[in-house]
Amino acid sequence: MDAYREFIDPSKVNNCVGCNFISSTKKNLIVGKGSLLQIFETIQLKQSTINKPQYRLKLIDQFKLQGTITDLKSIRTIENPNLDYLMVSTKYAKFSIIKWDHHLNTIATVSLHYYEHCIQNSTFEKLAVSELILEPTYNSVSCLRFKNLLCFLPFEVIEDDEDEEEEEEDEEDEDEEPRLFYDSSFIIDATTLDSSIDTVVDMQFLHNYREPTIAVLSSKQEVWAGNLIKSKDNIQFQVLTLDLNLKSTISVFKIDNLPYEIDRIIPLPSPLNGTLLVGCNELIHVDNGGVLKRIAVNKFTRLITASFKSFQDQSDLNLKLENCSVVPIPDDHRVLLILQTGEFYFINFELDGKSIKRIHIDNVDKKTYDKIQLNHPGEVAILDKNMLFIANSNGNSPLIQVRYRDSSKTSDTKESKLNKIEEKEDNKDDDDNDDDDEDDLYKEEEEEETQKTISKSHIEFLYHDELINNGPSSTFTLGICSKEKFKCNLPNPNYNEVSILSNAGTDSQTKLNIITPTIQPSISSSLTFSQVNRMWNLIKNI
């Protein structure tokens, strides 16, 4: 039994997500700090201008949870199609679905899902941290994964077909009890999905598929740097379509003999689509047809794979991709790559229609992000107005904005294209299939022109705000920070108070924390009043 008192709230952001949690028109930032759940909104300052916008994070509320947060996912359900619910995964192998209660102005629990005992009874291994993933296109199913054990939870999907709407109306006429938006969950072993799957390295749901589709990285034999002479390229990548009713899968394609240190799957949304496989020494893009494009990012790539000739050689960059963050920029042909040292790179995709001709990595000018300091970045939340919030493990977590240098021209172009598309949709004849096909063709062409305009424009990253991180701390001591008996001819209320001094951060973000039991005001001047009965503090709004 452990007895302790927590006198300082956790400050390190482990998880973050941007979603329409409270408002349907404005995204909220939700962060997880250990057992602390915080909800923020972005506010625009009064002194901000069009050329120099200024935004800040405003804390709406925070909640202490009974458990350590391991994952945060937003989900859109049939109960409320306009707002997002939040899936909060905690240790060990359990998650809850919560929503915002507008009547009580607080969070409310929708459902609880516990898999701890089921998983523990299915394995001899000690239960550790599990991973929560969600199907991104329709939010039709979630999966809680502990190594090779997969806990699937299907959800009811919002349908737009007329026949289904008629069926729903018929059901509403009957006095039936409202159904839950989720179905019964089931647990299966990953090896039952396909006989070729052995040890799962990573698993993710993919974008823009009609049916739930998963990508699985797996290995059949243990390979490490010491036995590369005997064995190389042991990783297998496979894409499977999941049938929730039959609890079975259909193989879309499979790729064998990938480098042994590929350990992450990054699903890419439209317009890029496909999957980005990340290893320590290379990047591999796999499109929806199974076509590979490989990039070697340092000199070690030729040593760890037998298929180095098929790689595009950019080893002169000398990148180390361990613990990097990969962020697809919304509606752009570039993917932001942030190394654990805080350096920014662009993964550029050259498109020919909907197919990808070439991929290459470009260095980002440090002048475009000189005010942004990162060290071991983690998850990234996408917010409104091209803003990104980056969870930073060893420093403060910044709120930044992706801004195009010719953003006014780009936005005008986008709006004009969209207006033309809307006009054509309004004027089209529903009975004429040929007109529909022509409209689709014109729409695709105009979208391509808009995407080309965006991809050619230059990007700069604007710093707006940050969340303070008081860790990680490796040592601390006790000391006295205020030893003056008087300040500005007044008795010092903090005289000889015992404080905690600790280190925090790493590399360029190292700092010293001084934790005091009381507030220590900075006195600039003092006034003496002979007779004071009442006193007020006036606060100027930002």
pLDDT of residue 440: 46
Instruction: Tell me which residue of 172, 166, 125, 178 sits closest to 149, measured CA to CA.
Output: 125
Contact between 344 and 461 (Cβ < 8 Å): yes
Percent helix, strand, coil in the chain (nearest 5)? Answer: 15, 40, 45
**Does the pLDDT of residue 173 top 90, yes or no?**
no
Mind listing the pLDDT tens digit for each residue in 198-249? 999 999 999 989 999 999 999 988 888 888 888 888 999 999 999 988 889 9
Angstrom CA distances, 385 to 42, 241, 329, stand at 10, 34, 12
pLDDT band at residue 84 using 50, 70 and 90 as cut-offs: very high
What's the angle, vertex CA 490, arms to CA 488 and CA 495, rounded to 5? 100
Per-residue confidence (pLDDT) for residue 384, from 0 to 100: 93
| Per-residue pLDDT reduced to its tens digit, 474-528 | 899 999 888 888 887 778 888 889 999 999 988 888 899 998 888 887 777 777 7
CA-derived radius of gyration, the chain:
27
Q: Decide: 398 and 465 in contact? Cβ < 8 Å.
A: yes
Rounded to whole angstroms, the Cα distance separating 79 from 156 reads 9
pLDDT of 469 above 60: yes
Instruction: Note the pLDDT of residue 456.
Output: 54
Convert 65-78 to b/e letters by CB count within 10 Å (16 or more is b): beebbbbbbbbbbb
| Dist. CA 164–CA 302, nearest whole Å | 55
Task: Report residue 441's pLDDT band, with 50, 70 and 90 as the boundaries.
Answer: very low
Which residues neighbour 319 within 8 Å (Cβ) at sequence distance 6 or greater?
Answer: 297, 298, 339, 345, 361
Q: What is the pLDDT of residue 169?
A: 53
Section 294-305 average pLDDT: 93
Q: Please state, in angstroms and rounded to a whole number, the distance separating the CA atoms of residues 337 and 363.
A: 10
Pick the more confident residue, 337 or 421: 337
Average pLDDT over residues 418-446: 47
- The separation between CA 22 and the C-alpha centre of its own chain, rounded to angstroms, equals 19
Mean pLDDT for 311-330 is: 93
DSSP H helical segments within 281-321, as ranges? 301-304
pLDDT at residue 532 in the model: 82
pLDDT of residue 381: 96
Q: How far apart are CA 244 and CA 394, in angstroms?
A: 41
Least confident of 234-238, 251-255, 327-331: 327-331
Integer Cα distance of 321 and 347 in angstroms: 13
User: 129-132 contacts: CB < 8 A, separation 24 or more?
Assistant: 129/70, 129/91, 129/92, 130/70, 130/89, 130/92, 130/93, 131/70, 131/71, 132/70, 132/71, 132/73, 132/87, 132/89, 132/95
* Least confident window among 58-67, 279-288, 486-495: 486-495
Query: Model confidence at 105, in pLDDT bands (50, 70, 90)?
Result: very high
Cβ(92)–Cβ(38) under 8 Å?
A: no
Question: Quick one: which of 267, 128, 122 has its CA closest to 191?
Answer: 122
* pLDDT above 60 (res 409): no
Per-residue pLDDT band at 424 (split at 50, 70, 90):
very low
- pLDDT tier at 168, thresholds 50, 70, 90: low
* Predicted confidence (pLDDT) at residue 178 exceeds the cutoff of 90: no
pLDDT at 177 over 80: no
Query: Which has more pLDDT, 523 or 93?
Result: 93
Banded model confidence at residue 455, pLDDT cuts 50, 70, 90: low
pLDDT level of residue 165 (50, 70, 90 thresholds)? low
Average pLDDT, the chain: 85
pLDDT of the residue at 541: 63
Domains, the chain, ordered by start: 15-162+177-192 (2.130.10.10), 196-322 (2.130.10.10), 476-515 (no CATH)
Q: What is the pLDDT of residue 449?
A: 52
pTM: 0.85
Is the CB of residue 430 less than 8 Å from the CB of residue 474? no
Backbone dihedral angles phi then psi of residue 411, each to the nearest 5 degrees: -65, -40
DSSP string over 33-89: ETTEEEEEEEEE-TT--SSS--EEEEEEEEEE-SS-EEEEEEE--SS-TTS-EEEEE
More confident residue, 127 or 165: 127
Which is it for the CA torsion 120, 126, 128, 132, positive or negative? negative
